[in-house]
Amino acid sequence: MAAPAALQRSVVSPAGRHTASLIFLHGSGDTGQGARTWIKQILNQDMVFQHIKVIYPTAPARPYTPMKGAFSTVWFDRYKISNDCPEHIESIDSMCRGLTDLINDEIKNGIAKNRILIGGFSMGGGMAMHLAYRFHQDLAGVFALSSFLNKDSAVYQALKRNDSVLPELFQCHGTADELVLYSWGEETNKMLKSLGVSTSLHTFPDLNHELSRTEIEKLKTWIVKKLPAEAAKTSE
């Protein structure tokens, strides 16, 4: 079978020497450029770091069942937008392969795997949890904003068989979210915690299915904590 085409991406270069990378996965129907622009509008500037490259890939368009099979830029298909139905595991696993190529590109550029963070908004956060907790448990951390996993998620099944140290999860969710209910995010957090993941859940009262400035500022602080600047190597 032909290798999947490389994912299109929008990149924010670090201001200084590149020693770590962050992969931000957009929500369903969006693009990498769209997610970058949204964050830029909220912060009044790009989310930029001294030493961390920020990569916003775009999901390839595919038929999306909740939109009656219309093509949409989604990381995977869903049978419906609910936490109480089976996962479309075939499309999830296919995209895990494409995103693994993206991680490997960073490693080829000299970035250690424990200096790479992955996360995203809504479906992007769900995708990141599958990618990290099933296939890349040596990443620096995972973030999930307004995201959830289905009740019998393959992530939970994988972690039941796992005994290695897992990446920390930083989760945010608005209590007024009408698309991905706060309770779905809370249940995901509790399940992952019970399976050995170090998790935090930041609650935003009155926030719907969206991002807020306070949330992104909190996320940025956590990112720098997980990916601190490395002291410049002195040449002998």
Residues assigned a catalytic role = 122, 177, 209
CB of 145 closer than 8 Å to CB of 122: yes
Euclidean distance between CA atoms 126 and 134, whole angstroms: 12
Look up residue 205 and give its amino acid. P
**Sheet hosting strand 52-57, strand order edge to edge:** 9-12, 52-57, 20-25, 116-121, 141-145, 168-174, 199-204
Place of tokens 């990443």: 139
Euclidean distance between CA atoms 124 and 27, whole angstroms: 5
Maximum Cα–Cα distance for the chain, whole Å? 63
